Amino acid sequence: MDSLEEINHTLQQLQQLFRDLTVGGLLTAGSDKVNTLKTLHKEFARIGASHIAEQLEKLLLAIEHNSQESAVLLMRAQASVQLFARILSLQYAANSLQEDYLEKATSPLKTNTPDMKLPCKEPALIKLLEDLCHSVEDIVLTGMTTANQATCDSLQLAFKEASQIRLLRLGSTLRVAVEEINRFNQGQAEFSAKRLNFFLNRAWMISHGLKLAVQKKDHHHWNTLNTSPTGVAVAKLDVVTIGVSKKVVKDAFCVFEFRLRTVTERLVNGNTLAAGTAMIWSTVFPLKKGTEIDPEAFLHLAQKQKFRPIDLISNKISTFENIILIGDRPPFRLSLNDESRVLEQEKEKDKKQRYTKWLSLAEWDRESAYQKAQAHSPSPFELDIELQEEVFLHDWSIIEKTRNKTDQLLCYSIESGGLYFQAQVALDDKVTQKALVKASKATDKAILFGLMHYESCQLVLQVLSLITTAQPVQLMLSNEKKGAASILRSMRF
């Protein structure tokens, strides 16, 4: 085991301890957890991570003295550890991707910077953020088994208030934390201590960050933590879909994210967007509790822009009209409104325009990925998946398969071009598993398309599609034909 792997292993041990302390409670931490914390404190001091070692020492003393401050110290220690883990993973990524590249600048798309506008009066906002921090600290102090209903209710109330006043980033974080608390209280098998710990800590950090931004009148920090980026209006874009991801949260929602490519050159806000520019369009469907339905069936429902999402998954060119382009670099996000329209291009009367240049799209810029990983300044507020790369693997093979029972994942080690990826597939996602293994055994392999991010010193891959000369084969979507009628039969109104 080399030094980087050894440090990463130690980090994972510490992160697991943080989860155990969050669920079990700091005030009732047993001698086994205290001794583990002492051992890890010594290990971080030994490897020279003095900042983390100092925070662990303070946390250890607070736990041993049953101090109320231990919850705050745990939140701060987790933020530092998360940031340290991101730095290590990015360094690993840069080392893996490096091939003696020269630096090359990319001109960003011009966008508007939003002003700092508070969603309510400052005293009320400060109180909301402080109350939220106290609620999180109370849960961490007492643990999930003894956290009283009043504390859980206060967190639920904070989620509703944050959503109502459009604190979108904080609201979405609280929503996941509240869902996880409800799973624990109901004894559901889907409960994840990892998710609970991460999103409670994230909610605490965002609340503190927003509070400081308000008090210091820090325009940039406020917008970073809360405001969604603004975009530019675009009259028309011609695109094709190269891959679709699917995420399902039981009894809550399912979301589909379409990875697109432009097929014609367009001038946008003074910048030329070349053919082949990466775009993203996503759609979310609510799932009522107890509803049993294949999520793909929702793709057959008509949108108010006069199209069905399923129509985008074909070998035809689609035209998006009157849309908003969000972001300053690819992949740009497409936002639709009431005036937007999505149409299939027509070549001749009653004949749809078919796209045939799929293989020309199947290239990824390894140099650009290296430069982004090298130049990125990580933040404890970011998720591991926020620095993603769309990758195409031309010559690939599955080396081994392992099972991650903790996260309910099947992990395929994939080698391509001298790089090693960890392709993660949900244990219950038999569709993707079967299609991936079948494609790996083919004599003439299709090009594998997926999303790569950097986590735990690995190149983690979410596989989306297989690129062929005919059209992409979607790996995450079921082949079953489900129409709108099946949805109506399954739903209860």
Which single residue is written with the structure tokens 């992160």?
15
Residue 351 has pLDDT above 80, yes or no: no
Q: Is residue 9 located within the same domain as residue 76?
A: yes
Question: Could you tell me if 115 and 385 are in contact, meaning their C-beta atoms sit under 8 angstroms apart?
Answer: no
pTM, whole model, 2 decimals? Answer: 0.84
Q: Is residue 246 located within the same domain as residue 220?
A: no
Question: Could you tell me if 439 and 446 are in contact, meaning their C-beta atoms sit under 8 angstroms apart?
Answer: yes
Out of 176, 204, 225, a domain closes at 225
Domain extent, residue 26, equals 3-97
What is the rounded average pLDDT of the residues 52-61?
A: 94
Confidence of residue 114 (pLDDT cuts 50, 70, 90): low
Encode pLDDT of 251-264 as tens digits.
778 899 999 999 99
Q: Going by C-beta distance under 8 Å and a sequence separation of 6 or more, which residues neighbour residue 237?
A: 262, 266, 279, 319, 320, 323, 334
Q: Is residue 80 located within the same domain as residue 180?
A: no
What is the rounded average pLDDT of the residues 231-255?
A: 89
Out of 200, 225, 250, a domain closes at 225
Q: Is residue 256 located within the same domain as residue 313?
A: yes
Confidence of residue 228 (pLDDT cuts 50, 70, 90): low
**What's the pLDDT at 43?**
92
Q: What is the CATH number of the domain that holds 319?
A: 2.40.50
* Percentage above 90 pLDDT, the chain: 43
**What's the pLDDT at 103?**
46
Give the sign of the dihedral formed by CA 313, CA 318, CA 321, CA 323.
Answer: positive
What is the rounded average pLDDT of the residues 414-440?
A: 92
Out of 179, 202, 225, a domain closes at 225
Q: Is residue 152 located within the same domain as residue 237?
A: no
* Residue 107 forms part of a structural domain: no
* Residue 152 forms part of a structural domain: yes
* Most confident of the ranges 110-119, 265-274, 386-395, 472-481: 386-395
* Residue 380 forms part of a structural domain: no
* Residue 340 forms part of a structural domain: yes
Question: Could you tell me if 214 and 122 are in contact, meaning their C-beta atoms sit under 8 angstroms apart?
Answer: yes
Beta-carbon-side half-sphere exposure of residue 11 (alpha carbons within 13 Å): 24
CA angle 83, 174, 178 (to 5 degrees): 120
Q: Is residue 308 located within the same domain as residue 421?
A: no
* Residue 78 forms part of a structural domain: yes
**What's the pLDDT at 58?**
95
**What's the pLDDT at 443?**
87
Encode pLDDT of 140-188 as tens digits.
998 888 776 777 778 888 888 887 887 888 888 888 888 888 888 888 8
**What's the pLDDT at 286?**
85
Q: Is residue 190 located within the same domain as residue 290?
A: no
Confidence of residue 102 (pLDDT cuts 50, 70, 90): very low
- Count the domains in the chain: 4
Tokens of 167: 């604190």
**What's the pLDDT at 101?**
46
* Residue 368 forms part of a structural domain: no
Q: Which residue has the higher pLDDT, 410 or 101?
A: 410
* Residue 263 forms part of a structural domain: yes
Residue 136 has pLDDT above 70, yes or no: yes
Q: Is residue 221 located within the same domain as residue 236?
A: no
Q: Is residue 182 located within the same domain as residue 292?
A: no
Q: Is residue 129 located within the same domain as residue 179?
A: yes
**What's the pLDDT at 397?**
95
**What's the pLDDT at 111?**
55
Q: Is residue 176 located within the same domain as residue 251?
A: no
Q: Is residue 92 located within the same domain as residue 133?
A: no
Residue 105 has pLDDT above 90, yes or no: no
Confidence of residue 1 (pLDDT cuts 50, 70, 90): very low
* Residue 141 forms part of a structural domain: yes
Residue 318 has pLDDT above 90, yes or no: yes
**What's the pLDDT at 40?**
94
